[in-house]
């Protein structure tokens, strides 16, 4: 029998309320901060991610789902949203609208990663971007939005890790200092670090191999090497976050795994920090538009992992609004076509009055019908058999009452409709 591919999951009805709640809260908070929804394609030209996400990232080196389609185009299932949203911004000339363009997207992403708790090959993100403005006020706004989004979900006691990784003015000097630090420890480094030292030394700070930890901890910190512009940008961000009541931990080893970042980088962690536990992360990417062939356009954004948010909601026993389930269960008894037709008509009346109704189908015993009604957690059951047809009644059971009642059809419908209204607080 086929199984869902490794690293993917089926989200069954009982888990849907968690996802809907996270997505509805995301849309509410995004709107509260003036962000508008976009939807970009699930697949793009592979070059967009190779260039945008970056050749030396884990994503491009080993995690992309790429293929050649029947028209011989080199296609990749999106591993993230940022290059796509920037492409859409450039393609549609959004620079001619008021800046920054505040955009968000709820999307599924694909990364050929090693599956483990909170790490999937297909996963969902809330991605939020502000493109077209370099003011640190936008960085502060996005971090504040992320913070309030988690708070609105009931996820509190978060830890915000923050760092600045400079710009093309100060980065060469810092990379030189970093290379010189690491060169004196070359023998002790893991294979990945040795390989990356020449191409992308920043990533060495991110290494999780135990023997590399003391070397990374002793490395020079970027915030001590920032140029004046980057320093004042970072200081303004700290001041603005303080005014929002958000206290970050400055983490000089936070560099993030994507190549496009400049200046601000951040990640948000729930109280129990595990290796894979970041709820989300982001930062500024002032060079990305040019990498993609557009004019210089600053930008900043973040993405939160929806599955990770759901995992944390469950771990913290946070209740989410239930789905509205069927209120009435309507069954015919016996195999007379008149009973089935009357049950159909009764169901039709309920639905026409806005009451969600579950129509029992097939031939089952009354016991089996009752078990079904119980599992569906309905408020009313309606049974219609030969006897009810003869007397023009139905057998109506209000599940909060001990006994069923025989009522004329019209009266039974009114009872259910009125009860449904009361239940919905109208």
The binding site for ligand HAM (CB under 6 A) comprises 80-82, 111, 113, 118-120, 123, 125, 127, 129, 258, 278-283, 285, 301-305, 307-308
For ligand HAM, which is the closer residue by CB, 287 or 305? 305
Angle formed by the axes of helices 409-423 and 337-352, nearest 10°: 40
Cβ closest to ligand HAM, residue 115 vs residue 392: 115
The rounded distance, in Å, linking the Cα atoms of 415 and 402 is 16
- HSE-up of residue 345 (Cα within 13 Å, Cβ side): 14
Q: Which residues contact 93 (CB under 8 A, 6 or more apart)?
A: none
Rounded to a whole number of angstroms, the minimum distance from the CB of residue 261 to ligand HAM is 7
Q: CA–CA separation, 386 vs 392, rounded Å?
A: 10
Q: Which is nearer to ligand HAM, 104 or 174 (CB)?
A: 104
The strand pair at 122-131 and 101-110 is best described as: antiparallel
Minimum CB distance to ligand HAM, residue 265 (Å):
9
Minimum Å distance from CB 124 to ligand HAM? 8
Q: With 0-12 CB in 10 A as exposed, 13-18 as middle and 19+ as buried, what is 227?
A: middle
Q: Which is nearer to ligand HAM, 114 or 367 (CB)?
A: 114
Q: Which is nearer to ligand HAM, 192 or 387 (CB)?
A: 192
Range list of H helices, 124-260: 136-152, 171-183, 191-199, 213-217, 228-243
In angstroms and rounded to an integer, the radius of gyration of the C-alpha atoms of the chain is 28
Closest by CA position to 166, among listed 283, 60, 54: 283
Q: Which two tokens stand for residue 15?
A: 């888990």
What residues contact residue 29 under an 8 Å CB cut-off, 6+ apart?
A: 145, 148, 149, 152
**Closer residue to ligand HAM, CB minimum distance, 269 or 329:** 269
Residue 375: strand, helix, or coil: helix
For ligand HAM, the closer CB: 56 or 344: 56
Residues 6+ apart with CB under 8 A from 307: 118, 120, 123, 124
Distance in Å, CB of 301 to ligand HAM, minimum: 3
CB of 40 to ligand HAM, least distance (A): 12
Whether the CA torsion 257, 260, 265, 270 is positive or negative: it is negative
Q: Dihedral angle at the C-alpha atoms of 219, 222, 224, 230, nearest 10 degrees?
A: 180
CB of 166 closer than 8 Å to CB of 221: no
The nearer residue to ligand HAM, 134 or 307, going by C-beta atoms, is 307
Nearest to 279 by CA among 163, 164, 165, 156: 156
Shortest reach from residue 276's CB to ligand HAM, in Å:
8
Joined together, the tokens standing for residue 95 give: 């620079």
User: Can you tell me the distance from the alpha carbon of 267 to that of 159, in angstroms, rounded to the nearest whole number?
Assistant: 8
Q: Which residues pair with 129 in a beta bridge?
A: 103, 301
Give the residue with the Cβ less far from ligand HAM, 264 or 381: 264
Shortest gap between Cβ of 407 and ligand HAM (angstroms)?
52
Task: For ligand HAM, give the closer residue by CB, 257 or 334.
Answer: 257
Closer by beta carbon to ligand HAM, 234 or else 329? 234
CB-closest chain residue to ligand HAM: 305
């Amino acid at each position: 029998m086929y199984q869902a591919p490794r690293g993917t999951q089926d989200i069954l009805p009982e888990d849907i309320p968690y996802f809907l709640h996270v997505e509805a809260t995301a849309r509410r908070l995004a709107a509260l901060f003036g962000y508008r929804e976009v939807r970009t394609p699930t697949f793009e030209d592979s070059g967009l991610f190779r260039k945008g996400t970056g050749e030396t990232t884990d994503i491009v080196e080993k995690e992309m789902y790429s293929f050649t389609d029947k028209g011989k185009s080199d296609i990749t299932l999106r591993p993230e949203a940022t290059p796509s949203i920037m492409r859409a911004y450039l393609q549609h000339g959004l620079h001619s609208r008021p800046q920054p363009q505040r955009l968000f997207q709820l999307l599924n992403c694909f990364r050929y990663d090693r599956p483990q708790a909170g790490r999937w090959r297909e996963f969902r993100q809330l991605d939020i971007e502000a493109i077209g403005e370099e003011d640190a006020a936008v960085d502060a706004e996005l971090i504040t939005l992320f913070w309030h989004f988690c708070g609105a979900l009931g996820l509190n006691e978060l830890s915000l890790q923050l760092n600045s990784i400079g710009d093309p003015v100060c980065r060469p000097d810092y990379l030189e200092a970093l290379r010189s630090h690491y060169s004196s420890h070359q023998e002790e480094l893991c294979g990945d670090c040795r390989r990356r030292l020449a191409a992308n030394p920043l990533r060495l700070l991110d290494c999780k191999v135990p023997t590399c930890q003391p070397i990374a901890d002793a490395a020079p910190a970027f915030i001590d090497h920032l140029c004046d512009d980057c320093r004042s940008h970072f200081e303004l961000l700290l001041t603005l976050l303080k005014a929002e009541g958000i206290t970050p931990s400055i983490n000089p080893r936070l560099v993030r795994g994507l190549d496009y970042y400049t200046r601000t980088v951040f990640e948000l962690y729930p109280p129990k920090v595990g290796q894979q536990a970041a709820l989300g992360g982001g930062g500024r990417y002032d060079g990305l538009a040019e990498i993609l062939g557009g004019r210089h356009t600053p930008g900043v954004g973040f993405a939160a992992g929806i599955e990770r948010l759901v995992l944390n909601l469950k771990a913290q026993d946070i209740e989410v609004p239930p789905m509205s389930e069927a209120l009435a269960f309507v069954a015919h008894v016996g195999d007379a076509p008149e009973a089935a037709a009357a049950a159909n008509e009764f169901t039709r009346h309920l639905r026409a009055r806005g009451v969600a109704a579950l129509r029992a189908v097939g031939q089952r015993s009354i016991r089996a019908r009752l078990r079904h009604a119980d599992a569906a957690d309905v408020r009313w059951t309606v049974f219609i058999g030969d006897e009810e047809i003869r007397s023009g009644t139905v057998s109506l059971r209000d599940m909060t009452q001990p006994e069923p009642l025989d009522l004329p059809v019209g009266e039974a419908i009114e009872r259910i409709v009125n009860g449904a209204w009361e239940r919905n607080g109208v």
